[in-house]
Amino acid sequence: MASGSPFFDDLRNKSEVVDPPQTEEMMDVESVNDPTQTALKSNVTVSSSVHELLECPVCLNAMYPPIHQCLNGHTLCYGCKPRVHNRCPTCRHELGNIRCLALEKVAASLELPCKYQSYGCMGIYPYYSKDKHEKQCVYRPYNCPYAGSECTVIGDIPYLVGHLKDDHKVDMHNGSTFNHRYVKSNPHEVENATWMLTVFSCFGQYFCLHFEAFQLGMAPVYIAFLRFMGDDNEAKNYSYSLEVGGNGRKMIWQGVPRSIRDTHRKVRDSFDGLIIQRNMALFFSGGDRKELKLRVTGRIWKEQ
């Protein structure tokens, strides 16, 4: 690569750290020429500088091999190269097929903190392993489990519980048993919408009970299922049962709650819950079959 590359200019210009002026009192307390501190500050500054250089100017994501560059040294990730029609987004020169091998090698020497550090992850990972870790990091935030809207809020479990209560006005209950009644005046109109979400607190954990109507092919059906507010490996420690009935008949479902890492739609479309056909639901409701009146009972327990 040419010596005038912005990559090497940036490293030369930013590898030196200038300490702020110190008063005599500060010099008495701190070691002025501590080589360990000076090296640490230099490493942090250089790593930060190189990390900025590894950000693609188009998608703003971290770049991984092959990293492309134009004749002027401007870099670009391999995913965005086709999107810019082989033109450098910085200087508009033709990109060609030049790889920035120096930047790829520098990236291989980097170790960076997980981007979920603010959520509690204290790990430091090689640059090329960091992305894989972050996709599976146990500290990564959860998406809001509310299914009645396209909510984009993310956070840890305590934050989401408060968000569901305050912003979505979700009913909160303590205890591991429940008894809910679902009523709809015109059951022949079925929208793909959530009717109810209830959050239960038990065993020191939180669970989301979903109940909704949706179209399965030409037939409208109702489904109830439970999701665990935590990771899948913890969800497997619990089981739940749901029961619905009427007119001397009943249906029972038993299963394992799904983690909220799985979206509401993914759980629903896998039919992992208590599914009630409309005719059966109206039969359970009794009366003239013009109003849906379903009572769903259930309990949650911890496996030994």
DSSP 14-76: HS--PPPP--HHHHHHS-TT-HHHHHHHHHHHHHHHHHHHTB-TTT-SBP-SSPEE-TT--EE
Residue type, 287: G
Q: In this structure, are 40 and 183 located in the same domain?
A: no
Q: In this structure, are 121 and 135 located in the same domain?
A: yes
Q: In this structure, are 68 and 120 located in the same domain?
A: no
Q: In this structure, are 166 and 192 located in the same domain?
A: yes
Q: In this structure, are 174 and 254 located in the same domain?
A: yes
The larger pLDDT score, comparing residue 119 to residue 13, is at: 119
Q: In this structure, are 90 and 128 located in the same domain?
A: no
Q: Are 269 and 298 spatial neighbours (Cβ–Cβ below 8 Å)?
A: no
Q: In this structure, are 93 and 232 located in the same domain?
A: no
In angstroms, rounded to a whole number, what is the distance separating the alpha carbons of residues 223 and 211?
6
Report if residue 1 sits inside a domain: no
The larger pLDDT score, comparing residue 155 to residue 190, is at: 155
Positive or negative, the CA dihedral 285, 287, 292, 295 is negative
Report if residue 278 sits inside a domain: yes
Report if residue 285 sits inside a domain: yes
Beta-sheet pairing, 193-202 with 171-174: parallel
Q: In this structure, are 15 and 53 located in the same domain?
A: yes
CATH of the domain at 171: 2.60.210.10
Q: How confident is the model at residue 190 (pLDDT cuts 50, 70, 90)?
A: low
Q: Among the three residues 68, 88, 109, which one is the final residue of a domain in this structure?
A: 109
Report if residue 170 sits inside a domain: yes
Q: In this structure, are 183 and 265 located in the same domain?
A: yes
Tally of domains in the chain = 3
Q: Are 278 and 221 spatial neighbours (Cβ–Cβ below 8 Å)?
A: yes
Inter-residue long-range contacts of 130-138, CB under 8 Å, 24+ positions, other chains counted: 130/62, 131/62, 131/64, 138/231
Report if residue 20 sits inside a domain: yes
Q: In this structure, are 38 and 85 located in the same domain?
A: yes
Q: In this structure, are 191 and 211 located in the same domain?
A: yes
Q: Give 249-271 pLDDT, tens digit per residue.
A: 899 999 999 999 999 889 988 99
In angstroms, rounded to a whole number, what is the distance separating the alpha carbons of residues 113 and 93?
35
Query: Of the segments 4-13, 115-124, 236-245, which one has the largest average pLDDT value?
Result: 236-245
In angstroms, rounded to a whole number, what is the distance separating the alpha carbons of residues 298 and 239?
11
CATH of the domain at 74: 3.30.40.10
290: DSSP letter = S
Report which of 131, 64, 126, 43 is spatially closest to residue 75, judged by C-alpha positions: 64
Q: Give 127-166 pLDDT, tens digit per residue.
A: 889 989 999 999 999 999 998 667 899 999 999 999 999 9
**Residue range 219-225: average pLDDT?**
87
Predicted TM-score (pTM) of this structure: 0.70
- Residues spanned by the domain of 235: 142-302
Beta-sheet pairing, 124-126 with 111-113: antiparallel
- How is residue 173 written in tokens? 């209950």
Report if residue 155 sits inside a domain: yes
Q: Among the three residues 55, 88, 109, which one is the final residue of a domain in this structure?
A: 109
Q: In this structure, are 116 and 105 located in the same domain?
A: no
**Residue range 82-93: average pLDDT?**
89
Give the least confident one: 4-8, 119-123, 265-269. Answer: 4-8
Report if residue 31 sits inside a domain: yes
Q: Give 57-84 pLDDT, tens digit per residue.
A: 999 988 888 999 999 989 999 889 888 9
